[in-house]
């Protein structure tokens, strides 16, 4: 297919016309730079070009910079989260128009393949997590979004951008991989291992199902204090005490109904398998770089369910609805704000969270949406 004539949107900036923009570019392990790049154009009939008004940095971006994600080639514009305004659409896009305010999903989905049909958009045959990975991403002034009809979401004008941008990835990830896979139901006891942004997002969304207790486990006292502010029933500093012993003691030895792994390490996984009650669920969210030991000798007769999942973002419309209804308030996760021009500093701040206490770092575009 050939590229099509782009409808011109009245908000199109001078840079857009000139065809250049600012973008954060990955240049191999440890190497990133804010550079000038050509603005993207429509390539496929299902594409949309979105002008980014709000973006953010994900823990995965830090993994990429460590060289842990081999699919990301040098020269790639990073970022898979964003809120923006439609600038142009391909001939096959039917549900969006230039000027529409949209949320960009971290998962691109064709809506056609067998995985999309069964709600496993994360494994879309021609999509999945590709933004800021195998195609250029959102930490830029503009981004090209393939399969726009099924990868973007309309955002009402009155919704707060900072809350909405957290629905690109972190909120659906915590909700789908942690809360839904953990099958949290009213009255459950829940333990979340890891009080970073993802663990806190799991805490926020776990409340939707009214568990009777939610314990947060982490080694960072500051993050645990935030967890308490976000409604954790109790917190355990695993640097200072035996988390497994503490959780078992607090549940009369039974363990928790749901253990959510929100770190991505063998140790965190081991905590989960040591505290889950007979009949309970372990819901893994963490990105793991190594195998773990699974104690099937202890668990084979314990009626345990263990789940893994890459976020499918099938709950994005629901989460938008809950934010609009005031039932979910994710903006409390935002700790820092930068302009796109200061993105190098934003990365520094986010990467040194132990010192800066950063959770989510907002990147503001030049113009509002």
Residues at the site binding its own copies, with contacts judged by CB under 8 A: 1, 45-46, 91-92, 94-95, 110-118, 120, 122-123, 126, 149-150, 186-187, 207-210, 212-213, 264, 269, 278-279, 284, 286-297, 299-310, 312, 314, 317-318, 321-322, 324-325, 327
C-beta closer to its own copies: residue 33 or 134: 134
For residue 16, the minimal CB distance to its own copies (Å) is 24
C-beta closer to its own copies: residue 34 or 324: 324
For residue 15, the minimal CB distance to its own copies (Å) is 29
For residue 145, the minimal CB distance to its own copies (Å) is 14
C-beta closer to its own copies: residue 141 or 312: 312
CA–CA distance, 137 with 143 (Å, rounded to integer): 6
For residue 316, the minimal CB distance to its own copies (Å) is 10
* Helix or strand run (H / E) with residue 144: strand 142-145
CA dihedral 118, 121, 126, 129 (to 10 degrees): -160
Matching residue, tokens 């669920």: 281
How far is residue 145 from each of residues 103, 107, 132, 246, 316, measured CA to CA in Å?
Answer: 11, 10, 11, 47, 17
CA–CA distance, 308 with 285 (Å, rounded to integer): 7
CA–CA distance, 347 with 175 (Å, rounded to integer): 25
* Helix or strand run (H / E) with residue 63: helix 59-65
C-beta closer to its own copies: residue 34 or 213: 213
For residue 282, the minimal CB distance to its own copies (Å) is 9
C-beta closer to its own copies: residue 209 or 237: 209
CA 71 to chain CA centroid, nearest Å:
18
For residue 21, the minimal CB distance to its own copies (Å) is 27
For residue 75, the minimal CB distance to its own copies (Å) is 24
How far is residue 266 from each of residues 48, 261, 305, 318, measured CA to CA in Å?
Answer: 40, 10, 18, 32
Q: Are 53 and 369 in contact (CB under 8 A)?
A: yes
C-beta closer to its own copies: residue 168 or 189: 189
C-beta closer to its own copies: residue 182 or 365: 182
How far is residue 204 from each of residues 59, 167, 234, 332, measured CA to CA in Å?
Answer: 18, 13, 14, 10
């Amino acid at each position: 297919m050939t590229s099509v004539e782009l409808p011109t949107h009245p908000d199109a900036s001078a840079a857009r016309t000139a065809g250049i923009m600012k973008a954060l570019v990955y240049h191999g392990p440890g190497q990133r730079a804010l550079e000038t790049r050509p603005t993207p154009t429509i390539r496929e009939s299902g594409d949309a070009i979105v002008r980014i008004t709000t973006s953010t940095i994900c823990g995965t971006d830090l993994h990429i910079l460590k060289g842990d994600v081999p699919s990301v080639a040098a020269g790639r514009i990073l970022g898979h989260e964003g809120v923006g305004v439609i600038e142009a659409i391909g001939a096959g896009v039917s549900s969006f128009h230039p000027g529409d305010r949209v949320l960009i999903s971290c998962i691109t989905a064709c809506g056609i393949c067998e995985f999309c049909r069964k709600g496993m958009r994360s494994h879309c045959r021609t999509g999945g997590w590709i933004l800021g990975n195998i195609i250029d991403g959102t930490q830029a002034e503009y981004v090209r979004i393939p399969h726009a009809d099924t990868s973007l979401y309309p955002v009402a004008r009155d919704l707060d951008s900072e809350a909405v941008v957290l629905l690109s990835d972190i909120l659906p990830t915590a909700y789908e991989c942690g809360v839904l896979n953990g099958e949290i139901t009213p009255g459950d006891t829940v333990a979340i291992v890891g009080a970073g942004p993802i663990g806190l997002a799991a805490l926020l969304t776990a409340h939707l199902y009214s568990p009777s207790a939610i314990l947060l486990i982490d080694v960072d006292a500051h993050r645990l204090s935030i967890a308490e502010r976000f409604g954790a029933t109790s917190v355990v500093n695993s640097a200072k005490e035996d988390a497994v012993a503490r959780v078992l003691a607090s549940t009369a030895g039974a363990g928790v109904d749901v253990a959510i792994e929100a770190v991505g390490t063998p140790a965190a996984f081991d905590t989960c398998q040591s505290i889950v009650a007979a009949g309970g669920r372990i819901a893994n969210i963490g990105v793991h770089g190594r195998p773990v030991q699974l104690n099937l000798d202890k668990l084979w007769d314990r009626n345990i369910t263990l789940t893994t999942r890459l976020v499918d973002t099938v709950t994005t419309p629901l989460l938008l609805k809950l934010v609009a209804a005031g039932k979910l308030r994710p903006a409390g996760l935002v700790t820092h704000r930068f302009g796109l021009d200061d993105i190098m500093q934003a990365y520094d701040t986010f990467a040194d969270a132990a010192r800066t206490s950063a959770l989510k770092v907002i990147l503001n575009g030049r113009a509002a949406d």
